[in-house]
Every structure is written in structure tokens, then in C-alpha cells.
Amino acid sequence: MRHHILSFATIICITAFSLTARAGIDSKYYKKIADKVWASTDPAFDSAAVIPDSLTESNSGVIIAWSDDIDVDHEVQTTLNTISGQTNRISKKWTNRIMVKLLDQSAIDSHSEFEFGEKKQVKFMERVLLYDLKTAFGVRVHKPDGRIIEIDLNDAIEIGEGKKGKDNRTYKIAIPGLEPGDVLDYFRFTEEMAETFSLEPQNLVLCARYPIMNRKINLAVDPAITVEYKCYNGVPPLSRGTTERGSLTASLSLMNVPSVNFEKFTMKFRQLPFIRVQYLNNIDKLYISKNSRGGGLHGDVFPGRIISELRDYLYNYEIETKAGAKALKTVKDNFLKANPEASPRQIADAAWLALMYQDLTSKGADTKSSDEFERALVFSDMLRKLKIYPDDQIGIGIINPRSDVPVSDISAWDESNFVIRTPDALYYIPLHTAMSPGELPGDFYGEGAVLYFGDRKTWTTLTPIKEYALPHRKASENSAVFRDTITINDDKVAVKSMLKMSGAVKSLYSDLTEVPEWASEVEDYFDIPENRRFRDKSYDPASRSKELKTMLKENGVSHYGKNPEKVTEAVVKDRGIRPDSTDIVVESAMEFDGLVEHFGDDLGLTVGMLSGVPTRLSDNERSRILDVMLPFINQEIHSMLIKAPDGYCFDEASVEALQRNISDVTAQFNVQSKINAQGDLELNTLLRYKQADVALAFWPRLLKVLDEAAAFGNASVTLVKKQ
Amino acid sequence: MRDFRLICFMIFVAFLTAAASDNVSIREKNVTYELKAEKGRLSSVKKIEETHYVAERADELIMVAEFYDDRLTIDKASAPGAKPIYRSWESTDLFFTGSRICAMAVSLKKGKPVKVCFEQTYTAPEQFTDIILAPDAPITGKATYTVIVPSQLAESIILTPRNLPQGVDLSCTTGKSGDKTYSITLSDQPKFEPEPLCGSATACAPRIEISGYFKDTEDLYRYLKGHVADDEPSSTVAALSRQLCEGMDTDMERIDTVAAWVRNNIRYVGIEHGVYAFRPEKADVVLEKRFADCKGSANLIRAMLQAVGIDCRLVWIGSRFDTTGSWSENPSLSAGNHMIAAAMLPDTTIFIDGTIKMAPAGLIPSAIAGQPCMIDGGDTPLLGTVPEQAPDVNKIILNGELEIDRNCLNGIYEATYTGQERLNLENIISSRSAYARTGVLERLMAFNRKGVKTGAVNLKSPALNAPATSVTFEESDPSGIRVLSSGKIYVLPRPFRAAEFTRINSEHRHSPIETGRKKTFETKLSINIPEGYVIDSLPEKNIIKSAWFEGFVEYLPLPDGHSVVCEAVLRSTRDHGEPDEANSWNEAIKEIEKISNTPITIKPL
């Protein structure tokens, strides 16, 4: 059923409908559009606009004006090619125009080449035009002396696909004559049409790496078509109106939007202003539409309405897959028989693993869930059939990570992830190979969720929505703990390491486990006989072992401050996916160069490098204008035992000098060091992020901790030659 | 002008895309190049390549691919169960090359060889210049490359093997009709992987150079020269040149001025498909567009200098790391990939590369320094050689005043960059957006030392073609101080901190070592001894004399007893070495690091 609500971008990717492209720039079409755009009398597009010094001082460019004009229409025409005898088209014309002053060479370099000319058509059975995309482009240069140079697109170079290079042509042009001080004025025009289906949603971003003097958005919508928009992160309300021809309008005009040129600790969908627009064809009865609202322009739809729509889809959905039945059989035959006393939580965990196993390993389309939506329903039905919890305590919910908008603020119900809640746990529904039952990826913790409880077939319009806050996890529950034994051999440093990852940190390491490895662990858990186990003939343990070593070698810098020269051993001892074993454990042996220094007879060992502290933030990352948002709080611990080489002992003062302790409400960095009875150095470092959201006023305090940690990166201990 | 060489590289890349893991090997490979003659000259080359891939341990899906364009066609691409797809494939550093890729996803079942077949035709035979023998997967059986030369071409076409693995030879048999069949067989060869510090992958890969399409250098010259249109620049070009050079007394001033203007006002945009691989854009057009590739820039320099009375010509050249041999030794398109200009002064020739933005006046970049070249000489070429870079042209000079406290070695520094070091620094900075420049400079001045805090950075950029750029900055280096239990303090000024050389794996090294360019590092640091401390020991003067470097480090106490001056010079004496010198390279770096990291020892009074 869900495929009925696919939008056209997806269809283009997955269908084998005829895909055609017409060759050549349609000069008339381009000229018509360009004439219209350049004829605009919008005073914001003033190439001679006075730009304040404050904007030019530390920027390579300034956007004088940036507009998005979007017209959405409904087209009904008579046709012999549809059952209804009529077309039902949603068409969108989008003009994106930017006027930017180029202040230096780097701005010229990033605005000197353009690609354009994309066209696409999708036809069904070579007859019915289902999708059509046409684009146009224009660019001109305003010289400081007032000259306007329109760039001749006939100078563009054609890029073609296909054996003869004649298919799917696009074009590339290098802008001639650009000099610092020029103002570049360019537009991209996109005309898109979808028959019956909806168009892809669109995010209209309101800030950029350059400051924007004027930012404008204008939407005009045929009342027959459903267009919804939602404003995020401080975007002021749009002005609404109606045009003479009856189109509904919404517009926004902003001035002096500051540049955003930092990325670290920023969640763009939570912090940067943007508008998300949904273009929905709700008229056709053949397909299930994305929402229940009629035609018109709907602004900032109350989230409760969107969540209610989810309830209707869940209610109506008919499960077609046998995945649930097969997974239930695994639970009954391979778990319950062996564990008749299992608790509801244990049974639910086994059911989650069994369904994931089914969906990850099954080759048949009818024996696995078609998508996350179906998997959520299958799993909730499995729990009901297992009768381990009362029906009204099993909830289907939607959640969003911190990297997306809050679930309480979604603009369409299918923009979220699904979760199943029981009285004991939350079960994350997307496929993942690094989590045990009941775990969530790190960036979901502490976020909001909305849930429906009970048997979905009993739901009515009065069935209440439960709002719910996903639990927070402490930093200590999201840990990466390294236990390293370090020996110095001549100028090389050998590290034998055991890395244990728990909680949210695990979700970053799904690469450590491939599906056959994951399946093998689950098969062991269920004690599945050898002859019924999943076989992936393309799985090669030898290549995989090599790949793992390469991964550790190339990513060493994230945990050790530099990449090792060699990784001689790398084994995943525990994948952290079973209910009875939730931590990922990796054992490795590696060798580093360049950490040993010679001070005459004495040696220096740069132990700071082995503590994996972050690099000092660069200038532009230090001066931010937004609060700090981390994906989750966590801690990294390095517990090192550093053996003194024969003939050397650790200098006590240098050992003592390693100690650090800076603790703030935002973060903590701590280093403890001591020489043990064997004369070896025990060095423990801890970097803990305590708050996932840090107000801008507290940024200097977090920065101070991070700077202290970064400064430790070169900390060294001295080994004195024994007399 | 890079295009013809690019094709070779693309073929090389095509191999590389075939298999990523060592699970896949080549059981058998047969590649045949059949040369066709027309009127006694090579007219086309048919390439038939059959490769039997096998997945040794597990099934695998591999992607096999060949590159093609308008002059190297794909005639056939087949593999069981695979359907070729044809896409454009543009290089990231060029604007447009017109290259395309034919790729197939081939499913391999464990232990069952699968034959992949490509047939291609070189329709522009002059561009059949190399056969790259770099296997993308280990050859567990045999790979045979055969070149069939018809009798009409038997005397003219010459095959020269380069970088072949030990024990591999090129053989030749002559048939009854006079046809020659060259053959080379590789067996049990590892997968080819480019090594660090090896120049370009194409240059260090095993390969066979093909020459003979052009009878001699003059024939090749006529071909290249044939692509240079008659170019009578408009008065605009001349006017600009005269305006720039107004009031200048010497030709050298004019040359430097025009070179700097072109380098810094003409954006590099490489458009190199078809004839554009060889045809310089007209000077007028370049000036109007303000962008060009190397040929266009060279042509504009030529026109501008001619406008002020200097005899300036186009020069065809090969960059050091991508080409081998000279036009005279190897009259083939593979000997060149670049174009510069040459000002023919009465007593000397000045070579001018138009693509090096922010270059100091007179700089000859290392990529063309010492390279053989071919100067436009009218009907016949003038063969010459670009001069080597002058000694000590590429320098980083570090001067500083250092203060010791118990936690840090603090310093106020000035780093001065000359020659190519200056060019690199300025280009890194100017390519970054304004807001990011300070951060980039801070990181650069930390010279890759984690934990070092740099601040108050200030870039002093004089004229675009000035000989040097200076950066002043402050630094706080916690790792520069080591306090010992005895009360002694090790002080580490690290005079060679700017000399960041990369060690290489010396085991089984097969490629020559290319370090890029010769550089010199000069350091003068004044270290103030804090109150209550005296110098315990100073490192003895260290003389550096290795196979790769020379120089010294010397610490001298000043008579006041409260400061030490560290003077150091490090000069790389070579920028090229043989594969078996990898160990000596590593040892030389180790020695430098050791000497640079030798501390001053101070102790309490």
C-alpha cells in the first residue's frame, strides 16, 4: 500500500519506464524565461546596492538578493490515455534567483562554473506522461562600471551520456571575465509536472555561508492543489493573500541575514531557519494521498492533525508479508522452548531479533517487511500474538533524531522513524546492525515521541495520542573505553588495545558488523541448526579481516590523534547485538611511528597523542552565533598501561605534569597518571560531554574544556636512562 | 594539452575499478593491440581485451570499466549476465575533457572464472602512446599483452618497456610477411598500487611506451604546431600590455609584469576535449573570457610580450611527474602534457608558466624545472631545456623569540616563505573563504603539532609576484617544555618543525622516489632563559650530511648567560631517488627529527 504514496523522485529511480531526454538547449524557452526574470522590477536585485563594511570585512561574498518564486497549478486536460479521460496534474514552476557580489578570488572560484539543462520524462507504457522536468538557466555579470554582460549559453559545453554521448545531455559553462568586485546575477528555473502523484517536498533555506541582504520567498498556489508549508527555527510567519486570478499566496521577505560559516556542534534542521514545503496531489482517488486536507495553501499545520493521519494509515494498512509469521516461529521454536521461563522483556527482545533477522536475511519479497512502516506493524502484531503484554500497553510511535526536526513539529507523517513501545522497552524499527534489542541510536535519546496504544483495528478518531519523551542517557552510559597496553620498541610504539563501546556510541559503528556477521550472532543466540543458517556466498572472512584492519588504520586518528602505521590484529570480540551482551568489543594490535623523541640519552613519549583528544577548533568554528547542539552526550576513556623499556624509568615530575582536571557543567577533561609498583605508567584520560544542548552563553566554558583537551594532544612523558 | 596523457591514465584507472578486494584475481588476461596501416602510416589501433576474473574465496560483484571518448571508441563490452552502461566521466580538476566510461557490474561465483571482454579502437592513432601494464587484481595465472605491427610499420613503430617487474621482458618475433609481434607476459604479479612519493600513478606504473607514429621530432612538431591557429591579437591585447609595461626600462621588468598579470587574472579552466587538447585558445578570447588552460595562458603571454617588442614563443613541455623522456628521445605525444611561453632575449631564454597564480617573479616551478622542451621555431622546432630551479629558491625561514615558563614554550615568530613555498602558501590562503583564512593560517603555523596553540596570525602579502610572503604569529607550545624531577628542564625549540617530510614503506618499494622539489629551511631562534635558571647543557653542533639532506643545527649561548641562539639550516640536496633508496630516505628523516628534537637543558641556580 505504501508505494501508492511514493513521490516522483522515487519512481524515477526504481521504475523501468522509458526515460527520454531531448537534446539541445531550447533557446526560445531559455530566452522566454530569462526575459521574464531579468524584467523583474524587484528593487532588492540592485547590483549597485551599498554594502556595509561590516558585511565585506570577513566575507568573500555578499548575497545582495536571493529569491524563490514558486507557482503551483492544477492541470486538467482531456486525454484518451487515462481511465477517467482526464489528466490530473500538479505542476510547479520554481524560479530561484541569486545576486551575489564577489569580493575575492575564492568567491570567484566558487561561482565561476555552472551546470544546467537537466530534463527528464517518465512515461507509462510509452503513452501516459507521468512526470516531466524541464529546466532553464540564465546568468549575467554586473560590472562595477555599470555594464551588464549577459552570458551566452551557446558557449556552454554539452555533456552527454550513452555510447555515443548523445543521451541525457546537460551543459556546463565557465563564466568569462569575472573579477573581484563583479556582481553575479543568476537564476535557475525548474518546471515540474507529476500526473496523479505528489511532488517531492522542498526545503527553502534562509541562510548561507555569505551574509544575505535580502531574502525573499513567494508561493502562489492553485486552490485545487494541496500545498503545505512549515516554518522552522525562527522563520517569521508568512504573509498570506490571494492573487487576481484566485491563487493563494504566501510570502516572506527578510533583510540582513547573517552568514553561517561554522558546522561543528550545529544541527541544521534544529537551528537554522528554513521552510519545508509539501506539494500534494490529493484529488485523485486512485492513490492514497499524504494527508487528509483538501486543496489550498496550508501553513504550519497543527502537528496533531498530521499525527492523526498516521493513525488512519496504520488502521487501514493490510499486512501482506509473511515475515511476522516466520519470525514468530523462530521465537517459539528456537527461544521459548529453550527458555520457558523467559520474562516478557526477554521474549520481546527475542521477537525483535527474530524479525530483524527475517528482514535482513530473507531473499523473498513476501517473507520480509517491505519497509519500516510495515515492520512496525508486523512487530506490534507479533507482540500481541505472543500475549506477553496487554494490548493497550503496546504502542506504535514515531520518533525523530536530533539531526531532523522534532517529531512534534513534523510536516508530514512519513518524515519520521518508527518505534514500538512496551512497558519494558522501546524497540527501534529501522534495520541496524550495531544495536541490541531495546537500544536506540544515540541522537534519539531525550527526544520526543508520539504513540498510539492498543490494537490498531480497534482505534477510532477518539483514540488518544500519547506524547512521550524518550529517556535520556548519561554520558557514562554512552562510552568508548580503551584499555591499551603500550610498549616502546626502539622508535616505534606498539599498542595492544581493547575497545569497549556501549550505548549511543555503538550506533556510530554499524560498519563493524556486516549482515552475515550479525546473522551468525543471532543464529547462535537462537541456536539455529547449521543447515538452516543464513549463507551469503559473497561473504569472505579473509577480505573482511583485512577490511577491518584497514578501517582501524584509516580511522585511528579519531581515537589516537594519528593513524597507526600498521594494524597487525583486529578482531570484533563482541558485536553488542544480543540481549545478553550489549557492548561492542574490539581487540586490536597496532604500531605507531613518530611518538618517541630522543633527548640525549633520555626518551620522550607523546602520550597525549594516544589519548585521542580532539584537535583545537579553528578560528571560524570558535566564534559562533548559535547554541551548541551535540547529537548525544558521551564520554571517551583511555586507560593506558605504558611499559617502561628496559634500562629506562619514567621521570616522576613529567608523570605528574600530565595530570589535568577541568570540569564544567558542560564538559569535563580529566587525566590521572601514576607510576605503579612495576615501574610502568598508568595513565587514564577522560573526556566527557555532559550536556547535549549548551546555550551560547556557555560556549566559552565548553570551549575552555575542549582547548584544554586539545592542548593535551602533544603532552609527553619523559623516560630517563637508568644510571 | 594534458588530454592525450589523460587517456593513458584513464585506462589505468579503468583497471583499478575492476576489483577492490584481494578476493578477486585474474586467472588469465589477453590483450591484443592490432595496428593498422594506411599509406605507410599508423591509421588506427584495434584493442581486444579479454580478462578472466575469478573470485577466490567468496562470491563477489565487481565493477569493470573502460574509459573512452571521441577518439577511443568502445566497440564491444560484454560479460555474462552484465549489461554495459555508458556515462560521462569528468575529471575533478579539469572543466571538461569529454571522457566517458563504459562500466559493467559482473557477478563472480566463487572459483568460477568469468570472461570480461572489451573491444576498443583508437581512431586517433597518434594518441596510442602507452600500454599500461598495471593489474587491478593479483594475476594468479598469466596476463599476455600482444602488439601486432604490420610490415609497413615494422620499422617505424618502436616499443619501449618502462618500469617492468624483474624478470619480465618484451619479446619480438617477425613473421614471414614482415609483420612484427611484440609480446609481454606477466605471471603471478601482485595488484599494482601506486606508492607514496612516486610522482603520478601513470609514470610509475609498468608500461610500454609506443613511439613511431611521428617519424621524428620535426614531424611531431608539425603536428602540434598545426593546432596553433594564426593569431593576430587585437589592439586590446597590445594596449593592455603596453599599459602594464609603461615606463619600464628592461625586458625582464616587462616579462615579470606580463607574467604576473596573466597568472593572477586568467583563471585556470581546463577544456581539453578533441582538438582542444592541443589547440591554444586565441589571445583575444582568453583576455575577454579571463579564463584558459595552460595553452591559452601561454598564448596570451606570447601575444602580450610580442606587443611590447619581446620575441615570445609557445613551448611544448612535459611536466616532470607525469611524463618521461624528451621530445627528441621519444617523439610521441606522451612526452608532453603542458604548454608554457618562452621569451627569447638576446642573451638568454626566459621560460614563463602562465598557470602559477601568486608565483614570485622569475620562479620556474619544480614540475617543469630541468625538463626538456620544444620551442616554436617557425618551420623547425628549437629543442631546449628549462633551467633547474636555483639553489635555495624554495625556502621557509623561521625566526623567533622564545620565552620559557614552567608549562609552555611561548614564542613570537615570523615565518617567511619564498619560491614555490610562497606560491603554495598564498594559494592555500586565497582559495579559502575570507572567514576561514585565519583558522587555516593558524593550523599551518602549528606545523602539524597537536596541542600547539597559535594566535595573532598576520599574513603580510606584498605584490602578487613578490619573492616572499611573511606570516607573523604567536605560539604557545606545551610540548616544548619537559620538567624533570631533578629540577632540570628540557627545552625543545624544534628548529626543523617546518620540515614536514613523509616516511615511506621501504619494503618491496618498486617506484622511484619523487619528493616534489628541493627545499631549504633556515631557522634562527632566540631562547631566553628564565630568572633563577642557568644552562645545564646545550646540544653540540650537529652537522647534517646524508644522502638526501645537508645542513646544521647550532646552539650558541649569548654572553649575558640569559639567552641562547639556535641557528639551523636544512637543505634537501635531491628530489629524486631510486626505489632501493627508500630506507636511506627514512633514515635521513629520522636523523632530522632526532636533531630537531634535541633539547637544551636548563637547571635551577
What does the pLDDT read at residue A80?
66
Q: What are phi and psi of A109, to 5 degrees?
A: -60, -35
Nearest 5°: the CA angle A347, A348, A350 is 65
Identity of residue B379: D
The number of C-alpha atoms within 13 Å of B445 and in the hemisphere containing its C-beta is 32
Identity of residue A343: S
- No. of helices (H) and no. of strands (E), chain A: 16, 36
Give the tens place of pLDDT for each residue, A483-516. Answer: 999 999 988 999 999 999 999 999 888 889 999 9
Q: Among B322, B353, B385, which residue terminates a domain? A: B385
Task: Give yes or no for a contact between B374 and B340, defined as CB atoms under 8 angstroms apart.
Answer: no
Q: Which DSSP symbol is given to A336?
A: I
Chain B residues close to A546, C-beta within 8 Å:
21-22
Structural domain contains residue B216: no
What does the pLDDT read at residue A176?
93
Domain match, B595 and B572 both: yes
| Per-domain boundaries in chain A | 2-301, 314-472, 476-721
Distance of CA B315 to the CA centre of its chain: 19
Structural domain contains residue B217: no
Q: Which DSSP symbol is given to B588?
A: H
Question: Could you give the 3-state DSSP secondary structure of residue A450?
Answer: strand
In angstroms, the first-to-last Cα distance of chain B is 68
Give the tens place of pLDDT for each residue, A223-280. Answer: 988 999 999 999 999 999 999 989 999 999 999 999 998 889 999 999 999 999 999 8
Asked if the Cβ–Cβ distance from B435 to A58 is below 8 Å, we say: yes
Cell of A327: 519470525
- How many Cβ atoms sit within 10 Å of the Cβ of residue A212? 23
Domain match, B594 and B494 both: yes
The number of C-alpha atoms within 13 Å of B160 and in the hemisphere containing its C-beta is 15
Q: What are phi and psi of A26, to 5 degrees?
A: -85, 90
What does the pLDDT read at residue A19?
33
Cα-based distances in Å from A647 to A596, A641, A721, B222: 15, 18, 6, 72
Record: fold of A476-721: Jelly Rolls (2.60.120)
CATH number of this structure's domain A2-301, picked from the four choices 3.40.50.360, 2.60.40.3140, 3.40.50.300, 3.40.50.2300: 2.60.40.3140
Surface of B (71-130) touching A: CB under 8 A? 74, 86-88, 90, 95-96, 98, 100, 102, 109-110
Task: Give yes or no for a contact between B455 and B442, defined as CB atoms under 8 angstroms apart.
Answer: yes
Task: Give yes or no for a contact between A466 and A451, defined as CB atoms under 8 angstroms apart.
Answer: yes
Asked if the Cβ–Cβ distance from B433 to A162 is below 8 Å, we say: no
Nearest C-alpha of chain B: how many angstroms from A175? Answer: 8
Cell of A606: 607523546
Domain match, B592 and B497 both: yes
Mean pLDDT for the stretch of residues B576-599: 93
**CATH number of the domain bearing residue B47:** 2.60.40
- How many Cβ atoms sit within 10 Å of the Cβ of residue B135? 23
- The tally of domains found in chain B comes to 3
What does the pLDDT read at residue A3?
36
Task: Give yes or no for a contact between A342 and A350, defined as CB atoms under 8 angstroms apart.
Answer: yes
Domain match, B264 and B189 both: no
Q: Among B142, B164, B199, which residue terminates a domain? A: B199
Give the closest of B100, B450, B483 to A713, CB-based. Answer: B450
Give the closest of B74, B267, B590 to A491, CB-based. Answer: B590
In angstroms, the first-to-last Cα distance of chain A is 81
Domain match, B174 and B235 both: no
Give the closest of A540, A606, A712 to B58, CB-based. Answer: A540
Asked if the Cβ–Cβ distance from A714 to B58 is below 8 Å, we say: no
Domain match, B60 and B182 both: yes
What does the pLDDT read at residue A197?
83
Cell of B237: 591585447
Q: Is the pLDDT of residue B342 over 90?
A: yes
Give the closest of B95, B440, B485 to A653, CB-based. Answer: B485
Cα-based distances in Å from A339 to A333, A344, A523, B137: 10, 11, 15, 49
Asked if the Cβ–Cβ distance from A619 to B438 is below 8 Å, we say: yes
Domain match, B461 and B557 both: yes
What does the pLDDT read at residue A168?
83
Q: For residue A219, what are the contacts with CB-CB under 8 A and spacing of at least 6?
A: A70, A72, A227, A229, A238, A249, A250, A251, A277, A297
- In chain B, the residue whose alpha carbon lies closest to the alpha carbon of A540 is B58
Task: Give yes or no for a contact between A257 and A269, defined as CB atoms under 8 angstroms apart.
Answer: no
Cell of B350: 626566459
**CATH number of the domain bearing residue B349:** 3.10.620.30
Task: Give yes or no for a contact between B145 and B61, defined as CB atoms under 8 angstroms apart.
Answer: no
Domain match, B173 and B278 both: no
Cell of A499: 575497545
Give the tens place of pLDDT for each residue, B534-545. Answer: 999 999 999 999
ipTM score of the complex?
Answer: 0.90
Cα-based distances in Å from A263 to A266, A272, A620, B177, B455: 6, 11, 9, 70, 21
What does the pLDDT read at residue B230?
79
Task: Give yes or no for a contact between A180 and A62, defined as CB atoms under 8 angstroms apart.
Answer: no
In which order are the strands placed within the sheet that holds B349-352?
Answer: B349-352, B338-344, B312-317, B372-375, B382-385
Q: How far apart are CA B42 and CA B31, in angstroms?
A: 19
Domain match, B400 and B284 both: no
- In chain A, the residue whose alpha carbon lies closest to the alpha carbon of B288 is A177
- In chain B, the residue whose alpha carbon lies closest to the alpha carbon of A657 is B483
Q: For residue B415, what are the contacts with CB-CB under 8 A and spacing of at least 6?
A: B396, B397, B398, B445, B470, B471, B473, B498
What does the pLDDT read at residue B21?
67
B439 touches A at CB < 8 Å = yes
- In chain A, the residue whose alpha carbon lies closest to the alpha carbon of B56 is A540
Give the tens place of pLDDT for each residue, B123-169. Answer: 999 999 999 998 889 999 999 999 999 999 999 999 999 889 888 99
Domain match, B186 and B234 both: no
Q: How far apart are CA A292 and CA A308, in angstroms?
A: 9
Question: Could you give the 3-state DSSP secondary structure of residue A153?
Answer: helix
Cell of B448: 602539524
Domain match, B350 and B400 both: no
What does the pLDDT read at residue A125?
66
Nearest 5°: the CA angle A50, A54, A58 is 115
Nearest 5°: the CA angle A413, A415, A416 is 90
DSSP B34-84: EEEEETTEEEEEEEEEEEEEEESSS-EEEEEEEEEBTTEEEEEEE-TT---
Task: Give yes or no for a contact between B576 and B473, defined as CB atoms under 8 angstroms apart.
Answer: no
Interface A:B, Cβ pairs < 8 A: 186
B288 touches A at CB < 8 Å = yes
Task: Give yes or no for a contact between B328 and B217, defined as CB atoms under 8 angstroms apart.
Answer: yes
Domain match, B80 and B187 both: yes
Task: Give yes or no for a contact between B197 and B504, defined as CB atoms under 8 angstroms apart.
Answer: yes
Question: Could you give the 3-state DSSP secondary structure of residue B365?
Answer: coil
Q: Among B342, B359, B385, which residue terminates a domain? A: B385
Rg of the Cα trace of chain A?
30
**CATH number of the domain bearing residue B534:** 2.60.120.1130
What does the pLDDT read at residue A556?
85
What does the pLDDT read at residue A87?
75
Q: For residue A709, what are the contacts with CB-CB under 8 A and spacing of at least 6?
A: A613, A614, A669, A687
The number of C-alpha atoms within 13 Å of A274 and in the hemisphere containing its C-beta is 18
Q: Show the domain range for B343.
A: 223-385
Asked if the Cβ–Cβ distance from B59 to A657 is below 8 Å, we say: no
Give the closest of A165, A600, A654 to B100, CB-based. Answer: A165
Kindly give the parts of chain A with pLDDT less than 70: 1-24, 80-84, 125-126, 284-292
Asked if the Cβ–Cβ distance from B434 to A618 is below 8 Å, we say: no
- No. of helices (H) and no. of strands (E), chain B: 10, 34
What does the pLDDT read at residue A81?
65
Q: Is the pLDDT of residue B439 over 80?
A: yes
What does the pLDDT read at residue A132?
92
Question: Could you give the 3-state DSSP secondary structure of residue B603?
Answer: strand
Nearest C-alpha of chain A: how many angstroms from B374? Answer: 30
Q: How far apart are CA A490 and CA A494, in angstroms?
A: 10
B598 touches A at CB < 8 Å = yes
